Structure 1
Amino acid sequence: MVVIGSGPAAVSAAERFRQIDPHSPVTVVTADAHPPYQRPPLSKDFLRGDTDSVRLHDPDWFTKRSIRVLTDSPVHDIDLAHSVVHCAAEDFAYQTLVIASGAAPAPLPVPGSDNAMLLRSLEDATRLRDQARGATTAVVIGAGFIGCEAAASLASRGLRVTVVAPEESPQRGRLGEQAGKRILQLLTDAGVHYIGGAEAHALESGVVHLDNGDTLRADMIVAATGISPNNALAEAAGLAVHEGRITVGADMATTAAGVYAAGDVALADNATAQRPVPTEHWQDAIDQGALAGAAAAGQPGTWGAVPGFWTTIGEATVKYSGWGGDFDNSYLIDHGDGFTVWYEADGAAVGILTHNADTEYALGQLLVAHRSRLPARL
């Protein structure tokens, strides 16, 4: 088996394959210069300077499992007809292939965008952390969870941080007005200033020009405006791609025999939702990778888990489980030291967002998974 990528989906695929098949060669190839590492700490513990350790596993872990990992080895193309992956220095013939190439930061489509720093890789995070040591001010463009996490982490280092986003509150369009206001309060509690209803119009070195005519000056400019799946290899090879992601079934199989895809780059059918569900979350990548590895080893399974994620904004942890997308109604419950937002569509629970409400979060996960009604008290 050959695996393209080195994130959680890739490593999970290699691990699960090896558990089932102890003998066949397994090679992981990645364009990243670093051995496999965790991304969640990059915008939190690592950026704050609380840790330097982000490795997924020690080198011995891969050695003991006879999993070969080749870093700094970008793939040039995939030859499906001859079952070969072409890299710069070496070609790899495969019997089965897992594409877990992840995603790259979506470019900021404004003049001077190269004046903004990005946060996706360990190299990006190291550059950000190094620059933060000598900075006093920062502007973060975008209020997705990575943007909010990074802004709070920079504020914890003593920087004056401003987040700029088109929505009046973070994630308002995705999670609703009530949730947006609560996330905004968490961001404010972390010492971050938020400017909503504005977008970056152009950038210069140390300067952000907004579309409302205002100008922000900062020692650091960070663009956190989403991701773009790394689908170019798959598309060029002739694999089916939809909405920017590789189309796979609930078993992670692509339209080519013996080829699987998992993680951010995949658009997988979900057996519970009974439709394709895009995900960009750590645990979902692990789950999908394990399914891809098992299928490659001859033991296909079915993806039916409800997607979910945890995010940390300053000292606050927010958890979400659900199908994303549209909802008919949302209901907020204030717990004093936390909150719960329930999401409903067609009379059934389709999502739950919580802060300091683990009991309700566990209940919500069950209700969403079983398409149950919301609790009667709502």
Structure 2
Amino acid sequence: MVAPGFVAIGSGPAGVSAAETFRSRHRLIPVRVLSADPALPYAKPPLSKQYLCGSSAALDLHSAGWFDRNDIDLILGVTVEHIDTRNQEVVTAGGMHYPYWHLVLASGSAAVPLAVPGGDSALSLRSFGDAVALKMAARHASSAVVIGAGLIGCEAAAGLAGLGLATTLVAPETVPLQRRFGLDVGQRVVTMLSDAGVRYVGSTTVTAVDATGVLLSSGERVDGDIVVAATGVRPDIRLAAAAGLATLDGRVVVDEHMRTSVPNVFAAGDITLAHNVSAGRLVAAEHWRDAALQGRVAGLTAAGYPAAWDTVPRFACSIGKVTLTYRGWGGAFDSGTLDESRNGFSVTYRARGRTVGTLDATASPAA
């Protein structure tokens, strides 16, 4: 029989950080990480940055030996079927039962499928396996179409263009990142993409994908040896919802300590809508750094130590020679004040007169 202890579902930064933090406080309690991904835990941001572009990328969160030395049982390639909160155990599709005293749910997000004829043939860029497949395909291609002009879409398009592929980025928005950063920034992102060798086609949607490219709602056809679907992600809350955890707007509701509505169950990372002390409200965690910080808070709280999510969320995106760095709580804004600087620009976003975020764009010296 498996001894009860600490269990984390998910091997991303939230799950690994939670397990690492709990283990640092309790050396003798069993600690397990369950993951459907067969790969050793890795960081995802470099996949659309350094790794795709062929640069050196530190992907591993920890080595296999690190997990062994810290007595963390890393169980990869396993699908969790359901969480039994009444008996406090996690049940896998293979019939294994893992009893827990403390459980951290960090199941992350799943890519939103491209729901058009032929859409299932498009490549995605969500996992390490996806990145390997895309990188290999790029070696034998001369052109690419990327669908979706969010952060990942922009980075992937610039990366493919950097590999020498004639790359087109297609999206329904007039300009890239318009909903997140506004029209002024989006217009500048078009220039960044153009400088990186990417053609942007906006205000249109893809209606079909075939072996030689995509067909657009405008009637235009865009050829591409590779088609990449960067059509967004959706928090994977299936286990949480089935277990009866409180959810809102497609995410698991947690307090500032990462506690869910069910005793001894915590959540961290993409799936959460967490109370951020600095913001004074619920905030969706959408990026690697936030997930790792939330995982640490969950691990400390589960271990019996005081901890709260009180940091301002932050993330960075690289498009060609320009790095965009955002700090803030996301969501809607009433206005954005843009100021030019020597090597780029900055934007301050406000809602109801209160600053809710800042964006800094900085070009590398070689740009």
- 1:57 counterpart residue number: 62
Alignment root-mean-square deviation, CA: 1.4
**Deviates further, 174-183 or 249-258:** 174-183
- 1:131 counterpart residue number: 137
Contact residue 248 and residue 269 of structure 1 kept, 8 A: yes
1:228 counterpart = 2:250: no
Return the match for 2:151 from 142, 145, 151: 145
Return the match for 2:309 from 296, 303, 318: 303
Shift of 1:356: 2.3
CA distance in 1, matches of 2:324, 2:57: 24
Give aligned-pair identity as a percent: 47
TM-score (norm 2): 0.95
Partner amino acid, structure 1, of 2:156: A
- 1:218 counterpart residue number: 224
Shift of 1:315: 2.4
Shift of 1:322: 1.0
- Any stretches of 5+ residues in structure 1 without a counterpart? 359-378
Please give the secondary structure, in 2, of the residue aligned with 1:95. strand
CA distance in 2, matches of 1:119, 1:189: 23
CA distance in 1, matches of 2:282, 2:355: 18
CA distance in 1, matches of 2:363, 2:133: 36
Partner amino acid, structure 1, of 2:157: A
Please give the secondary structure, in 2, of the residue aligned with 1:356. strand
Shift of 1:303: 1.2
- 1:276 counterpart residue number: 282
1:239 counterpart = 2:245: yes
CA distance in 2, matches of 1:34, 1:342: 39
List per-residue Cα deviations over 1:248-274 (Å, max 9, x = no partner). 111111111000000001111112222
Shift of 1:111: 2.2
TM-score (norm 1): 0.92
Contact residue 339 and residue 357 of structure 1 kept, 8 A: no
- 1:198 counterpart residue number: 204
CA distance in 1, matches of 2:56, 2:129: 15
Shift of 1:357: 8.8
- 1:349 counterpart residue number: 355
Contact residue 340 and residue 357 of structure 1 kept, 8 A: no
CA distance in 1, matches of 2:301, 2:273: 17
Return the match for 1:42 from 30, 40, 47: 47
Partner amino acid, structure 2, of 1:312: S
When the two structures are aligned, how many residues end up with a matched partner? 358
Shift of 1:180: 0.9
Spell out the pairing of 1:62-101 with structure 2 (5 A cutoff).
62-89=67-94, 90-101=96-107
Shift of 1:328: 1.8
List per-residue Cα deviations over 1:194-213 (Å, max 9, x = no partner). 00111111222222111111
Contact residue 4 and residue 10 of structure 1 kept, 8 A: yes
Contact residue 115 and residue 206 of structure 1 kept, 8 A: no
- Any stretches of 5+ residues in structure 2 without a counterpart? 1-5
Shift of 1:300: 3.9
Return the match for 1:337 from 331, 340, 343: 343
Partner amino acid, structure 2, of 1:136: S
Partner amino acid, structure 1, of 2:56: T
CA distance in 2, matches of 1:53, 1:294: 26
Please give the secondary structure, in 2, of the residue aligned with 1:193. strand
